[in-house]
A and B are shown apart, each in its own frame.
Chain A
Amino acid sequence: MSGEAVAEPKPAVRTSLFKRYENLTVLSIFAGFVLVIVLLQLIMGGGTKFPTFISPVNLLNILQQVGVAGIVAIGMTIVMISGGIDLSVGMLASLVSIITALGISKWQLGVVPSVLLGIAAAVVLETTMGFIISRTKVEPFIITLGGMITFQGIALLLCSSREVIMNGELDFLKANLIQGAKDPISHLNLIIPPYVLIFFAIALLGSLLLNYTKYGRRIYAIGTNPQAAYLAGIDVKNMKLSAYVIMGVLVGIGAVMLLARINTGIVTLGQGLEIDSIAMVVIGGTALKGGKGNVVGTLIGVFFLGSIGNAMNMLRLPSEVQFVAKGLVVIIAVSAGDISNRISGFLSRRRELRWHAEQRATKGESVQSTK
């Protein structure tokens, strides 16, 4: 901070591409990953077979698998940019699925009221946690950890530790929107269910919200520096709260999608959702300490993480390997950003030093240093 600028113009700072486009680092790693998988498939097939990993049917397959986690990851992006985190989303999704399934099959509320009831429950519970987080100084990590355990308990109590089976009342959510379309390569049926479209719609909305609205500006501001944001007239507490309310809506929607796919409300339904969604968000470049990140990055993270398991299957590797691969991807993607920052920082420092040395050389030593 004390390093005061010299009066002369500095050398034009050439920021690296990776710094200018913040998603480029992870995008290039992802592209590299896809390339490696495709090459491996080509080699294994002797170059005769089309790499099935990038066949349309498989790409749509991946989309179906990541849709729900993706919806939650959009919410997680907003929460994490605001400086928070939510560990409870997995168990909350399980709870919502059980409530909705019970509403449909046991309480006979009808499909729409049951779905609304489930989503409402998610909103209320997230709002409660958000209220505590925004009004106290307790870490969101702790509050949502407590929430996760509590929701698991409530879910188990509600279903008496048993699964709640439905009769396919939510099947309309997984109906194929492009009935009859065939993959030109494998001639398998192509499937796009509505929830994939809902995922894209939510991603688009989230992106617009963060980039083009007052609300988005404020979310970034409170995540960057809550104190400065407060003094700039931003209601920091309510902004934090609102992020969790949005999260509630999205977890609610995601859980209903999940229920539609499995057709059974069960406590293990949302298991691992918090880990997956947080991993997707951090792969996409959102900082754990808040203030940084974007939906496009998260989308890359969603597809990246979602395609790992699929790729392992394509390569006929044991499914256990995918955990190792997923873990490594998280570590590599997140540290790559830092490493590329260091390299570009080092280069620009060196450029600057060289420039100063040249200045001194041309002016000679007659110029006295100011201090």
Chain B
Amino acid sequence: MTLGIQTIYQEHVIFETLSVMENIFAGAEIVRRGLLHKSEMKRQTLAVLKYLKSNLSPDAKMGDLSSGEQKIVEIAKGLVFKRKVIILDEPTASFSSVEIDNLLDIIETVKNSGLGIIYISHHLEEVFKIGDRVTVLRDGRKVSEREIAGLTKTVLIKDMVGRDPSTFYQREKVPIGEIVFEARNVTGNGARDISFVLKRGEILGISGMAGSGRSELMNVLFGSARLDFGVILINSKVVKQSDPKQAIRNKMCFITEDRQNTGLLLPQTIAQNVTIANLVNTREFVVRSRDDARIGDRFVKQLGIKAPNSQTRVVDLSGGNQQKVVLAKWFNTNGEIFIFDEPTVGIDVGSKQEIYRVMVDLLKQGKAIIMVSSDMPEVISMSDRVIVMKNGEKMAELCGAEISEENILTNSIGDKTI
């Protein structure tokens, strides 16, 4: 900040209960004789908001504003403190199209006032609309830097792809069986009109950018979010799943993206975590710790969880081993249909390969997998088919040789043309 740089993060860093003015001056209040100089702060806020052609009130509560308006306030903050560079990280995620146009106009105004703007986005339209120069990063390296004038989308996408597929994980293929799961026009929780089938022995990859509604769709399929419209079929029978309990009884398993917050009971032991999801399938009211320990120990051995025994608390395990506990929890329910949401996020390379092997083992047992992943090599190497999502909608379904970085990227960031 002393360098005159203001970063506006994808997730808002705001004080919801404070006003627009208080948010702008938080931590840098103008003080006169030991008291807040409110009129001066208000004057400056109003001046900047007027310059940005925004009719927000400086006294409006931040929490009452839409996310588009909140972004404007953050930009206004950069202007009030006369920053030289503003960095915007995916500012338009979760915006309506009107809000996007509005924000782009404001950025244009700010640009013309002499500030430098770094605009991080995966929306190519926006990049072409407001950018002067574009830099492409891939796997943490700078790939290219080009002038926007005269640049085409195809050239840009070429820069963005280009990993060598031969370096990807080589997965063993498994014969594919009959249809076990089907979604018809599934709508709800941000997902819109999604249809697909899933067969035994198959991994169906779900790809798309962050915010494209993939995890939201998975929650609908598992019953942990409302299904507004459409039907889910398991073994060709329509099923009603209004909560995860029914989904588990229907032999579904959901390995969530955020294992620490939604997958595990961290302070409890491996044995307790492994047996918790299967409680809906057991009839006995009495549970025996010895049986749980036996089941836990079996999975510790089978999946190679690095712990002395199943009485180890999950919080003491590493990321990869925690993920194996989550897997064990679901294997213990004898599920058939597995949803893996970002199965290898935050996991080291060694554990990653082990988890891939476990997934292939599942396929060999005739089970089926839906895999959401942002890891492009993972999607390409593991999937038999890939569905690409954008804004909650299914953009494309790719199979066989169509599954390439270029195809996936074009569909997840481009228009619905291919």
**A230 located at the interface, meaning its Cβ lies under 8 Å from any Cβ of chain B in the complex:** yes
Annotate A283-318 by CB proximity to B: 1 below 8 A, 0 otherwise. 000000001100000000000000000000000000
- A105 lies within 8 A of chain B by Cβ: no
| Contact, CB under 8 Å: A227 / B346 | no
B245 touches A234 (CB 8 A): yes
Interface size on A, residues (CB 8 A): 31
- Whether A7 lies near B265 (C-beta < 8 A) is no
Q: Chain B's nearest CB lies how many Å from the CB of A338?
A: 14
Q: Is the CB of A1 within 8 A of B263?
A: no
Docked Cα-Cα span, A1 to B348, in Å, equals: 11
Q: Assess A1 versus B346: contact at CB under 8 Å? Given A217-B272, A221-B265, A221-B276.
A: yes
- Which of B122-130, B147-155, B231-239, B318-326 participates in binding chain A? B318-326
Q: Is the CB of B272 within 8 A of A220?
A: yes
- Are B244 and A232 in contact (CB-based, < 8 A)? yes
Interface of A toward B, CB cutoff 8 Å:
1-5, 7, 12-13, 211-218, 220-221, 224-225, 227-235, 291-292
B279 at the interface (CB under 8 A from A): yes
Q: Quick one: given A4-B320, A4-B348, A233-B244, are A291 and B286 in contact (CB under 8 Å)? A: no
| In the complex, residue of chain A having the shortest beta-carbon distance to the beta carbon of B351 | A4
- Tell me how many residue pairs across A and B have CB atoms closer than 8 Å: 103
CB contacts (< 8 Å) of A13 on chain B: these are: 308
Q: How far is the CA of A3 from the CA of B249 in the complex (A)?
A: 36
B: contact size bracket = 35 or more
Separation in Å of the B345 CB from the closest CB of chain A? Answer: 10
Chain B contacts for A234, CB-based, 8 A: 245, 276, 279-280
A230:B244 contact, CB within 8 angstroms: yes
Those 10 A-B pairs whose CB atoms lie nearest each other, nearest first? A5-B318, A232-B277, A233-B245, A233-B280, A4-B348, A233-B248, A224-B265, A232-B276, A227-B262, A233-B244
Q: Which of B247, B264, B280 contacts A225 (CB 8 A)?
A: B264
Residues of A within 8 A of B162 (CB): none
Q: Is the Cβ of A225 less than 8 Å from the Cβ of B266?
A: yes
Stretch at the interface among B9-17, B253-261, B389-397: B253-261
Any chain A CB within 8 A of the CB of B146?
no
Bound: A75/B236 CA distance, A? 47
Binding site for A on B (CB under 8 A): 222, 224, 243-245, 247-249, 254, 256, 260-268, 272, 275-277, 279-280, 282, 284-289, 306, 308, 317-322, 329, 346-348, 350-351
Q: Nearest-CB distance from B292 to chain A (Å)?
A: 9
* Bound form: Cα–Cα A4–B279 in Å: 31
Give the CA-CA distance A1 to B346 in the complex, in Å: 8
Apart from A5-B306, A13-B308, A224-B265: 4 A-B pairs, beta carbons within 8 A:
A4-B320, A211-B289, A224-B268, A227-B262
Chain A residues near B243 (CB, 8 Å)?
A: 230, 233, 235
Most buried by B among A211, A220, A228: A228
A224-B266, A231-B263, A234-B279 known; A214 vs B346 contact (CB < 8 Å)? no
A218/B264 in contact, CB under 8 A: no
Partner of B318, one of A4, A12, A215, A224: A4
A228-B264 contact, Cβ under 8 Å, with A4-B318, A5-B320, A233-B279: yes
Whether A292 contacts B267 in the complex (CB less than 8 A), given A4-B348, A228-B261, comes out as yes
Q: Is the CB of B350 within 8 A of A7?
A: yes
Indicate if the CB atoms of B287 and A214 lie closer than 8 Å. Answer: yes
Contacts of B264 in A (CB 8 A): 225, 228
Taking the closest CB of chain A, its distance from the CB of B286, in whole angstroms, is 6
- B244 and A212 contact, CB distance less than 8 A: no
**Complexed CA–CA distance, A93 and B280 (Å):** 36
Q: How far apart are the CA atoms of A323 and B262 in the complex, in Å?
A: 42
Task: Output the least CB separation between A142 and chain B (Å).
Answer: 18
CA distance A218 to B254 in the complex (A): 19
A2 and B348 CA atoms in complex are apart in Å by 9
Contact among B244, B267, B347 with A231 in the assembled complex (CB-CB below 8 Å): B244
Residues of the A chain whose Cβ atoms lie less than 8 Å from the Cβ of B329: 232
C-alpha gap A292/B350 in the complex (Å): 34
A235 contact set on B, CB distance < 8 A? 243, 245
A4 touches B319 (CB 8 A): yes
Please determine whether B222 and A231 come into contact, CB atoms closer than 8 angstroms.
yes
Measured CB to CB, the closest approach of chain B to A192, in angstroms, equals 31
In angstroms, Cα B279 to Cα A229, docked, is 11
B262 near A212 with CB under 8 A, answer no
Contacting A214 at CB < 8 Å: which of B249, B256, B260, B282?
B282
- Among B262, B280, B321: residue with most chain A CB under 10 A: B262
How far apart are the CA atoms of A318 and B19 in the complex, in Å? 54
Instruction: Please tell me which one of the listed residues A214, A224, A228 contacts residue B262 in the complex, with CB atoms under 8 A apart.
Output: A228
Residues in B neighbouring A233, C-beta threshold 8 A: 243-245, 247-249, 277, 279-280
Q: Residue of A at shortest CB range from B333?
A: A233
B285 contact set on A, CB distance < 8 A: 213-215
Indicate the member of B261, B267, B272, B321 with the most A CB atoms within 10 Å: B267
Select from chain A the residue with minimum beta-carbon distance to B306. A5
Rounded to whole angstroms, the CA-CA distance of A291 and B315 in the bound complex is 14
The listed residue (A1, A5, A213, A225) touching B265 by CB distance below 8 A is A225
Q: Decide if A212 touches B265 in the complex (CB within 8 Å).
A: no
- A291 touching B265, Cβ below 8 Å: yes
- Shortest C-beta distance, A81 to chain B (Å), equals 12
- Chain B residues with CB under 8 Å of A4's CB are 318-320, 347-348, 351
Contacting residues, chain B, for A12 (C-beta < 8 A)? 308
